[in-house]
Amino acid sequence: MNVWMQQHPATLLGLVIWAFGILWLMPSRRPGQIRSQRIGISIAAAGLLLFCGSFGKSTSDLASEVMFWVFAAGALGCGVLMITSRNPVYGALWFALSTLSTCGLFMVQSAPFLAAATIIVYAGAVIVTFLFVIMLAQQSGAAGYDQRSQQAIPATVAAFVLLGALSMTLQSAPPQFVRVEIQAPVVQEQQAGTMMTLDPNKPVNPPEPDAIPNYLSRADYKTPVGSLKGLGRSLFGDYLFAVELAGTLLLVASIGAIAIAPRREEGAL
């Protein structure tokens, strides 16, 4: 870690300045005090520029470069606006826009299904539920405690330490990305009445990768994940254990939620 700090002082400095700018922008604890937004925005922007500049240049083509920066700026900007807006409804909406920008990033990385699923789950269901709760809870305008941020300093510090750890991992050990040759989708002339069959050209048991990265899942780098079929096969084949584990966790959570919800006799709706 010390080595990383000496080698990348710009990254560290950028992170600190950026964190300070965000902290400045957060709605203050005392309702009367209003800080100048311009100062906060310029500090945060300076830190962000320093942080981004300390990374190496990317090698992708211009179109995806432009799209990456547009979506990344959208996601970051909307995220900052989400935590700094005083109105909870606007906060939820900025959250939705930030999610949509992230889905744009997924699209650029040619993961359309991930993008669509994220839109359905987050923008379409979770944030709509947030809006529902906000509107139901505050029909007479936002309460005072909702207009300022609670625990601003610990939250900012935690978030930026996490970001620093991520950038340290990225900078000190660039991962060896495995280039996956995406095969052209095999269009099978399927007769109606016959079920989907596996591609006969493909071996049933693909050869084991050299190193197993995780005992819970067996990632198969040879499966083309770009297509929906490949994604499904990977999710319910290579990562079956993780998927089942997540499903069990969600089931337990929903049983718990039903158990602690008040019954009708206890005065619920």
Partner 1 sequence: MPELLITLITIAVVVGAIPGVCNYLILLERKLSAWMQDRVGPNRVGPMGLFQPLADGLKLLLKEEVIPSHVDRVLFLIAPGISVFTALLAFAVVPFGPVGDASVPSIIRFIIAPNIDMGIVFIFAVGSLAVYGVVLGGWASNNKYSALGALRASAQVVSYEIPLGMSVLGIALLSGTLNLEQIMKQQVDGGILAWNIWFQPLAALMFFTASLAEANRLPFDLAECEQELVGGWHTEYSALKWALFFLGEYTHMITISFLTSILFLGGWHFPGIAEADSVYMGAWLVKLLVLISKAFFFICVMIMLRWTIPRFRFDQLMELAWRVMIPLSLANLLMVMFCAHFGASRWWLLPGSLMLFAAWGMISASLRDTERRAKPGYVRKKAVVAHDSHSTSHSSAH
Where do contacts with partner 1 occur on this chain (CB under 8 A)? 89, 93, 96, 112-113, 115-117, 119-120, 123-125, 128-129, 131-132, 135-136, 139, 185, 190-193, 195-196, 227-228
Please say which residue, 43 or 115, places its beta carbon nearer to partner 1: 115
Minimum distance between the CB of residue 26 and partner 1, rounded to whole angstroms? 22
Phi-psi region of 34 (alpha: psi -120 to 50; beta: other; left: phi over 0): beta
Residue 73 belongs to what H/E stretch? helix 62-84
Minimum distance between the CB of residue 246 and partner 1, rounded to whole angstroms? 18
Please say which residue, 44 or 115, places its beta carbon nearer to partner 1: 115
Please say which residue, 43 or 96, places its beta carbon nearer to partner 1: 96
Please say which residue, 46 or 131, places its beta carbon nearer to partner 1: 131
User: Would you state the structure tokens that stand for residue 148, as one six-digit string?
Assistant: 């300022």
CA distances from 32 to 28, 29, 74, 86, 144 (A): 9, 9, 30, 13, 11
Minimum distance between the CB of residue 150 and partner 1, rounded to whole angstroms? 24
Minimum distance between the CB of residue 188 and partner 1, rounded to whole angstroms? 8
The rounded distance, in Å, linking the Cα atoms of 190 and 184 is: 17
Asked if 103 and 135 touch (Cβ cutoff 8 Å), the reply is no
Minimum distance between the CB of residue 192 and partner 1, rounded to whole angstroms? 3
- b/e per residue, 30-41, with b = 16+ CB within 10 A? eeeeeeeeeebe
Asked if 243 and 235 touch (Cβ cutoff 8 Å), the reply is yes
Minimum distance between the CB of residue 96 and partner 1, rounded to whole angstroms? 7
Please say which residue, 32 or 193, places its beta carbon nearer to partner 1: 193
Minimum distance between the CB of residue 42 and partner 1, rounded to whole angstroms? 24
Which residues does 162 contact at the CB level (< 8 Å), separation at least 6? none
The rounded distance, in Å, linking the Cα atoms of 71 and 114 is: 16
Please say which residue, 16 or 117, places its beta carbon nearer to partner 1: 117
Question: Which candidate, 25, 20, 165, places its Cα nearest to that of 94?
Answer: 25
Residue 249 belongs to what H/E stretch? helix 240-260
Please say which residue, 7 or 109, places its beta carbon nearer to partner 1: 109
